[in-house]
A and B are shown apart, each in its own frame.
Chain A
Amino acid sequence: MNIASPATWSAIFGLISALSIAPTQAAVETSAPNAAANTGATFEPPKEDDIPNTPFGNTIRMGRDIMLDTPKHAARFVGNNLSCTNCHLDAGRMAGSAPLWAAYVNYPAYRAKNDKINTYQQRLQGCFRFSMNGSAPPLGDPVLVALEAYSFWLATGLPVNKEVAGRGYPKLDKTTQTPDYARGQAVYTARCALCHGANGAGQSVSGRVVFPALWGDGSYNWGAGMGSIDNAAQFIHANMPYGMSYSLTPQDAWDVAYFMNAHERPQDPRWLGSVEATRTKFHDSTLSLYGQTINGKILGNTGAPKQTQTKDQAHIAP
């Protein structure tokens, strides 16, 4: 991957811009090339062409395909229009975009979210239950096995149980101004609505999702990590818009993350019978707007989750 300091990048872009823009045209904004640019990541996962032509290679390819078009390849477990690659760019390869290789080598791991050691497959179950607003595939299901195989293969050569540069989304310090709905709305209109639509519902064509829904029925539910304003701000800052990493100011990223998560979305599947109880147990943080009043409405006050949970899910802690 192309790794360089932000200072180097701006020097390069400055030079390129000066050389290539026609004098009669206004200069167009440039940006860092990708999320990896600010992470210091040095690891490169193997190239896709090198997936072995073996039965195991076929499982790896299936995992890759699930990442790229989750509703198609893991339909039984998906309750919305999102795909893994929407939040793990380049099919989970990109540093600074929660790459699978960095996660894989750090599991099993303790998670405060369910207060226990989680295996990698259990971690993947959480993705389906919350981010995909679906149901958790049973442990050992071919979908989980394929995603695990793909992650294992991506991590070829990485030491296990060591923090690795590029994991998760790059940390984004709090800004001096508290995140704000109106400022976030302005950022959304200028920088997000072209793709995700004025109403946040995303855009599809011929039955294929092109730009995912950011809120509403087609998006992640209230239990997803992306519903936490800090996660969302970090993801957006490093990865959005496509090809324009780190082009928003940190303040813009915090504000637009707040705005996005200040909208209604599917109920938290850990619902405890009331929005107050669910907030107290799972959302007791300034970083979640669940149960808070926005524009005169209490977010998450939509009653019990619409999907029924299966027996398979019952033994999986949230």
Chain B
Amino acid sequence: MAVAGYPRLAGLSAEYISEQLKAYIDGRRVNAIMSDMAKPLTIVQIQSVATFFSTLPMPTQAGTPLSDATQADRGQQLAERGDWSAGIPACFNCHAPGGIGIQPSFPPIIGQPAAYIEAQIRAWKSGTRQAEPQNLANALMYNVALRMNDNQIKSVAAWLAAQPTAPKNQH
């Protein structure tokens, strides 16, 4: 299990990891540790490190039921069905059934710590995480995050993080 808040990189696509490092360099993502680490990297280094992590097997994780059943239900509902009356599509509408992602534009959202998922939704909401301006994903995730309240963000992050992962299905 990852240290709280630190995302797993193993098994993410090289294209996605490269784009994230470029986002730290451009200031489209901001993180106290990563921003400064990314800035000195050359394009070749970015590609090398992205390829390396993409070839590592995704760690497996058994599902852990959440202690708060109400929170679990709310999180599952948002992940699988969304809250369309509030303009929130289901996470799985774009990140694929089971949240396993569609590379490269829709990263897997299972197999990540709750604190990381929560921080990312908040970063999209506040505008401190952005894709390239011409990328539609930018507006898609911003609008969804904008409409999510605190309770929804916490619930869906907790539920996603508690799901089992099966590496064979990642690609």
Q: Counting CB contacts under 8 A, is A112 at the interface? A: no
- Which residues in A have their C-beta under 8 angstroms from that of B133? 26
Given contact pairs A34-B87, A191-B136, A241-B136, A28 touches B127 in the complex (Cβ within 8 A): yes
- Which residues in B have their C-beta under 8 angstroms from that of A203? 102
Question: How near does chain A come to B85, taking the closest CB pair, in angstroms?
Answer: 4
Contact B138 A28 (CB under 8 A): yes
Interface residues on B, range: 35 or more
How many angstroms between the C-alpha atoms of A143 and B39 in the bound complex?
57
Chain B residue with the shortest CB-CB distance to A9: B87
Contact B138 A194 (CB under 8 A): no
- Within 8 Å by CB of B130, from A16, A28, A93, A206, lies A28
The 3 A-B residue pairs whose C-beta atoms are closest, nearest first, are A33-B87, A90-B84, A21-B127
- Which residues in A have their C-beta under 8 angstroms from that of B93? 210, 242
What are 6 A-B pairs with beta-carbon distances under 8 A? A22-B127, A28-B130, A94-B84, A206-B96, A210-B93, A244-B143
Chain A residue with the shortest CB-CB distance to B168: A206
Q: Which residues of B contact A (CB under 8 A)?
A: 27-28, 81-82, 84-89, 93-94, 96-98, 100-102, 105-106, 125-128, 130, 133-140, 142-144, 146-147, 169
How many angstroms between the C-alpha atoms of A32 and B136 in the bound complex?
16
Interface residues on A, range: 35 or more
How many angstroms between the C-alpha atoms of A94 and B89 in the bound complex?
12
Q: Counting CB contacts under 8 A, is A54 at the interface? A: no
- Which residues in B have their C-beta under 8 angstroms from that of A214? none
- Within 8 Å by CB of A34, from B84, B126, B136, B169, lies B84
How many angstroms between the C-alpha atoms of A77 and B87 in the bound complex?
32
Q: Counting CB contacts under 8 A, is A190 at the interface? A: yes
Contact A30 B143 (CB under 8 A): yes
